[in-house]
Amino acid sequence: MVLFKGWRNELPRVWLPQIVSEEGRLENSTPITLLYLAAALEGEWQKFGPKVAHAQVDDFTGLGESDIRGLMAAFSPHLTGISVYEGTAELARKRIQLFMKIMPGCPVISGGIGITMFGEGLVEYTGADIGFRGDGELVLRDVVSIIGTHGVEGLRNPDIQKQLLELPGVILNIRGEGVAKGVRSNEIPVLPKGAVEQIHFPVSQLETFYNRYPDRPVALMGSRGCPKRCSFCALGVGGYRSRAPSQ
């Protein structure tokens, strides 16, 4: 990939918060999915290439707005990424508005089953600057590499927009200025079964997370996808991909 000419030596900081409701109830994927994304960004797996970012996963369980503000200010991310499910669109919209209020110059990237299924409609509704479809490990690294530390203003650069819109499954909606779709935006990149087996448990990211959140339950991921292909669900995209328990 050809990086934007203004690319700095500093690696961007990518914040991956787990979204939960004001009542503390989990509303989204478990942290393990975000830890896998963090591992992909931090170069844990040879398949995806070298480290392209410093990533931090946080859990909002039991936290109020002031706590969230403190976490975001402490990490000071260049990019924030969240997962959106079909039933969490309104909550995601509120959180994205909050993130943009706290750090107006930090782009918000959205992915997950909801974006994979509903595409530009859900990206526009939630107000995310960028949406990407499919398995996050395949696209997020490229998105982060292109944007780097340039922020929202960088997203308005035609060269950066062009590179982003050439990626499969990427949709732009920079600060609600209108949805822009590339010729490959309807593609849904997925990891094949062999690639899933090459992705190891994100041990270092898990240790970092549980050092900060020692009371959280441990989660494992033994498969991706679903053998069914129901028209109303995105879980069947890419088919069912499992891995042996020994891995």
* pLDDT value, residue 214: 83
Q: Which DSSP state fits 19? A: P
Q: What does the pLDDT read at residue 55?
A: 95
Predicted confidence pLDDT, tens digits, the chain (247 residues): 333 333 445 899 999 998 765 554 544 445 788 888 999 999 887 777 889 999 999 988 778 889 999 999 999 999 999 988 767 888 899 999 999 999 999 999 999 888 988 899 999 999 999 999 988 888 899 999 999 999 999 999 999 999 999 999 999 999 988 899 988 898 888 877 777 767 778 888 888 988 888 877 777 777 777 778 787 776 767 677 777 666 6
Whose CA is closest to 79, among 150, 165, 10? 150
Residue 170 phi, psi (nearest 5): -95, 140
3-class SS at 110?
A: strand
